[in-house]
Amino acid sequence: MFIIYPAIDLRGGKVVRLKEGDPKRQTIFSTDPVETARQWIEQGAQWIHMVNLDGAFASANDNRSILEKVAQLGIPVQFGGGMRAISDIEDAFNRGAARVVLGTVAIQQPKVVTQAIAKWGAEAICVGLDARDGKITTHGWTQIEQTTPAELGKTMADAGVRHALFTDVNRDGGLGGSNVEATIALGQSTGLQVIASGGVSTTTEIEQLASSGAVAGAVIGMALYEGKIKLDQALEAANQYAN
């Protein structure tokens, strides 16, 4: 089943989108993230993808309390941003997250990923393979590593990881389309259940990703908030390829 994840990016308790991950290029879409989540659920969302941007940028915040409220709405939440230790992961699960996305820690402290899988199971852990110009980015996309998404993905797969989120940072928030070819190739080369992210904005892209058999879902943010694509259209495109 190909899953569509409406994105709720949190910064200062508000729903925002950043263009290419740049905090200086921010658009605020809502001051009520819980109501935003409720609207996506009413429109048919089966998962919510939530990112604590303040956590990713190592800024003090209370965004996890929002996770707690959204998790009570009745559908699973995939939560990421700033989880650099087992205690952060545990707190997210305690607040209701169904799955966490681990980015920076996966490359800096891979043992944390294996510990998390051992404690919560592979279905509850997703590794972020965020990349800029073909290289992994960390710390809220502010630092570039010398490894590729495929290299890190294969390492994580060998460690027992099943789920990965791939974001082409150059395309994120730009409405210019996702990197369909790279996303499919990543799924094929790693065997991971790859979730596409970064620029997904048309039903054609969703159909290409879903029909490949190598991609498990897509996170959609700016395109939904700007009205370029409606959630029911995205769901319909994805459901054509439901098992």
- What pLDDT, in 10s, does the model give residues 7-36? 999 988 899 877 766 777 888 999 999 999
Q: Which are the catalytic amino acids?
A: 9, 130
Q: Note the residue count of the chain.
A: 243
Higher pLDDT, 243 or 111: 111
Residues 6+ apart with CB under 8 A from 239: 2
Q: Tell me what the pLDDT averaged over the chain comes to.
A: 90
Q: Is the pLDDT of residue 174 over 60?
A: no
pLDDT at 153: 96
DSSP SS3 for 163: strand
Average pLDDT over residues 1-10: 95
The domain in which residue 155 lies consists of 3-239
CB–CB of 113/127 below 8 Å? yes
Residue 184 has pLDDT above 60, yes or no: yes
CATH number for position 54: 3.20.20.70
Q: Give the sign of the dihedral formed by CA 33, CA 8, CA 222, CA 11.
A: positive
| pTM of the full structure | 0.92
Check if the beta carbon of residue 153 is closer than 8 Å to that of residue 190.
Answer: yes
What pLDDT is attached to residue 64? Answer: 85
Q: Are 145 and 128 in contact (CB under 8 A)?
A: no
Q: How many domains does the chain have?
A: 1
